[in-house]
Structure 1
Amino acid sequence: MPSTATLLTVAAMIIGGYGVLVAGMYLAQRSLLYLPSGQPMTPREAGVPEMRGVLLTTADGLSLTAWHRPPVGDGVTLVYFHGNGGHIGYRGHRVRPFLDAGFGVLLVSYRGYGGNPGRPTEDGLYADGRAALAFLEARGFPPGRLVLFGESLGGGVAVRLAWEQARAGSPVAAVVLEAPLSSVADVGAYHYPILPVRLLLKDRFDIVPLVGEIAAPLFVAHGEADLVVPIRFGRKVFDAASEPKEAFWVDGGGHENLPAFGLHARVLRFLDRHLAAGAPRTGV
C-alpha cells in the first residue's frame, strides 16, 4: 500500500497539472474562440460580384473592410454577422439568396478577420457591429429598415445590437439567428466539462438576458445534429425570446449545413410575413 507521503505527492502532481491546464486554457481562450483563417477574397471571388468593398470606422479608430450592396428600390438591408471562423469571403453563397430577392446586404467583417486590423474581443465585435449600423444610417438606411442576421457566434453580436437599438427607441425590423449560442459559457462548459469555464471566460456573448427585449420579430434556426453548438442552446435562446418569434428545428441538420435544408427559403417567408408595411422587402 502506498505511503501517505506518496499519495500526497501524487495528489500534488494531479492538482498541479490541473492548475497548469486551467492556466493554459485561460491564456489561450481567445485563440480558441476566434478563428480567422484564409486569404482575403474579393466579392467576385466569393460569388457576389455586385457587392463592393467599403470601410467601416469603429469608435476606437479602426478601419474595417466590409462588403455592401444597397437594396433594390426602397427596400430593406440585411446585415450579416458571421461566425467565429474564416472571414466574409466564405459567406458569399450564404447571402446570395437575399441579394437575388432584392435585399440590400452588408457583410460585416470583424477586427482581426480577413486582413482587418486589431484583435477580436467581445467588446471589439460589438464596436464593429455598431460601426456597421452607423455606416448604413449615414447612407439613409435607419435601424427600422434593417434585418440583423447572426450566424453562430455572430448571433451574439446581432442580439446585442438589436437590444441596444430597442433600448434607444429605434428597434430593427427583424433578427435572424442561425445555430446561435445561448452564451460562450454554456457551450464552453459543454465542450470542456472538467474545467471551470464560467469562472475563466473573458468573452461571454450572453444572449439569453437580452433576446426578450429586442422588440423585433425573431427567427431561430438550429440543427438537431449540431455537435458544435447543441440544439438545446438554440432552444434556450428561443424560449427566452418574446413574440413574435418562429423556430426552424432541422432534423439531421448540423452546425454549418442548414442552407442545404431550406434555411433561406424559410427565412425569406418569415421576413415576408413580418416586415412592416413601412419597410418593404424590396422596391418592386
Structure 2
Amino acid sequence: MNGLSVSELCCLFCCPPCPSRIAAKLAFLPPEPTYALLPDLEATTPSSSGTSLRGRTPETSMRWKLHLTERAEFQYSQRELDSTEVFLTRSNRGNRIGCMYIRCAPSARFTVLFSHGNAVDLGQMSSFYIGLGTRINCNIFSYDYSGYGVSTGKPSEKNLYSDIDAAWQALRTRYGISPENIILYGQSIGTVPTVDLASRYECAAVVLHSPLTSGMRVAFPDTRKTYCFDAFPNIEKVSKISSPVLIIHGTEDEVIDFSHGLALFERCPKAVEPLWVEGAGHNDIELYSQYLERLRKFISQDLVSQRA
C-alpha cells in the first residue's frame, strides 16, 4: 500500500488533508521582513527605461527606495544601489507584491526570473542575486511571495501561482522583456510557481534547483501517485514544459530528497544534462564550483544548441 502506515492511510482516506493544510505544514516560513520600501519623493516615474504609465495605479507608478535592515546581513554600495530597482505590483488575487530588478550585466541577453526558497525574502537574497547575475552575465528579477517581505496577504499555493503571474507580467510590461529572453529559475519551494508558469508559457529556459515532486511525496516519501488533494504537484506539470530544463539537486539533500530531482528529470521531456552535486545538501549547492560552471554552460552552450 505504497509503504504508508495504517494510521497514515486512515488519515488520507478518512479525512484527507486539503492542499492548503499540506502547504502550510510543509512550506511556508516567512521571516521577519529584512527590508522596507520607502517612497522616493524626488522621482515618481517608474523606470528610466521610458516605459508607458498606461494601466498603472499611483502605487505601482511610484518610485521606491530600498531600505535594508540589519537582518539583511548585507548593505548596498552606491553602485549596486543604482543598479537595483524595487517596486510594487498587484496580483490577480489582490495582493501587493514586492519586486526587485537588478541590472547585473547591462549588455545581458537574458533576464532570470528568480523564485527564491523558503524562510528568506528579497532583502536576504539581494547580495546573492548580485553575485549570481554578475557571474552568469544575466540580469536578475525577483519577487516576494504573498506574506513575505513587503508583499501583503498570506502564503498559499494559489497565491504562489498568482504571485509569479504578477511578476511575469511586470517583467514583460515594465521592462519590455520578451519570453525568449527570460530564464525561469526556481529554488526549493520556488520550483512550485516556476514549474506552474513554465507549463503555461514558453520561455528561454527553466532552472529547477532542489525541486520537489509534490507536497505529499515530501511528507510521505513512499507515495507513488498524485492524490486529488496533493499540494504542489510539480510531477504532474513538468511534462508540459516546452522550454529547455536544467535540474540541479544535491545527493545528500536533507529537506527534499535527491529522488525528487531524479523523478522530475525522468518525467521532463525537455530536460538537458542535469547537475547532481555529490555530497551537497539543500542549502549549500551554490558553494560547489560545478554550480556556476553548469549554469554558464547551460546559458552559453545548451540554449544555443536547443535553438539551432
TM-score category by the smaller chain? 0.7 to 0.9
Q: 1:204 to 1:75 in 2, by over 3 A?
A: same
- Within the candidate set 213, 219, 227, 1:188 is matched to 219
Please give the secondary structure, in 2, of the residue aligned with 1:64.
Answer: strand
* Alpha-carbon distance in structure 2 between the residues aligned to 1:155 and 1:77: 17
Residue by residue over 1:5-53, the C-alpha shift from the partner in whole angstroms, topping out at 9 and shown as x without a partner, is: xxxxxxxxxx8xx97xx98x87964443210013322476545633221
2:143 paired residue among 81, 84, 108: 108
1:247 aligns with 2:274: yes
Change (3 A) 1:43 1:96: farther
Q: Distance in 2 between matches of 1:272 and 1:83?
A: 25
Residue aligning to 1:226: 253
Deviates more, 1:155-164 or 1:80-89: 80-89
Matches within 5 A, 1:132-281: 132-138=167-173, 139-165=175-201, 171-190=202-221, 201=229, 204-262=231-289, 263-276=291-304
Verify the 8 A CA contact 1:56 1:66 in the aligned structure 2: yes
Q: In 2 relative to 1, CA 163–54 (structure 1 residues): closer, same or farther, beyond 3 Å?
A: same
Cα offset for 1:264?
A: 2.5
1:188-235 deviation digits (Å, cap 9, x = unpaired):
113xx8x9xx7695x611112221221111111111111110100110
Alpha-carbon RMSD across the aligned residues, in angstroms, is 3.0
Check if 1:36 corresponds to 2:36. Answer: no
CA distance, structure 2, for counterparts of residue 151 and residue 43 of structure 1: 25
SS in structure 1 at match of 2:274: strand
Aligned 8 A contact 1:40 1:115 in 2: no
- Cα-to-partner distance string for 1:86-143 (whole Å, 9 max, x where unaligned): 2122223432333214311111211100132101111111111011110111121121
Q: Determine the structure 1 residue equivalent to 2:154.
A: 119
Q: 1:179 to 1:237 in 2, by over 3 A?
A: same
> In 2 relative to 1, CA 109–143 (structure 1 residues): closer, same or farther, beyond 3 Å?
same
What is the letter of the counterpart of residue 51 of structure 1? T
Number of residue-to-residue matches in the alignment: 251
Aligned counterparts of 1:265 and 1:161: Cα–Cα separation in 2: 26
CA distance in 2, matches of 1:239, 1:72: 36
Please give the TM-score of this superposition, normalised by the length of structure 1.
Answer: 0.78
Structure with bigger gyration radius: 1
Distance 2:154 2:91 in 1: 13
Q: Is the 1:147–1:172 Cα contact (8 Å) retained in structure 2?
A: yes
How far residue 242 of structure 1 moved from its aligned partner, in angstroms, is 1.1
Distance in 1 (alpha carbons) for counterparts of 2:243 and 2:184: 10
Structure 1 position 246, deviation (Å) = 2.0
SS at structure 2 position matched to 1:181: coil
Whether the aligned pair in 1 keeps the contact of 2:91 and 2:162 (CA below 8 Å) is yes
Distance 1:99 1:242 in 2: 27
Q: 2:161 and 2:259 mapped to 1: Cα distance?
A: 25
Distance 1:78 1:258, change over 3 A: same
User: What is the Cα deviation at residue 250 of structure 1?
Assistant: 1.1
Aligned to 1:7: none
Write the distance in 2 (CA, Å) between the matches of 1:79 and 1:35: 21
Q: What are structure 2's unaligned runs of at least 5 residues?
A: 1-6, 36-65
Identity of aligned residues (%): 24
Q: 1:174, 1:216 within 8 Å by CA — same for their partners in 2?
A: yes
Please tell me the residue identity of whatever aligns with 1:77: T
Task: Read off the aligned partner of 1:90 and give its amino acid letter.
Answer: Q
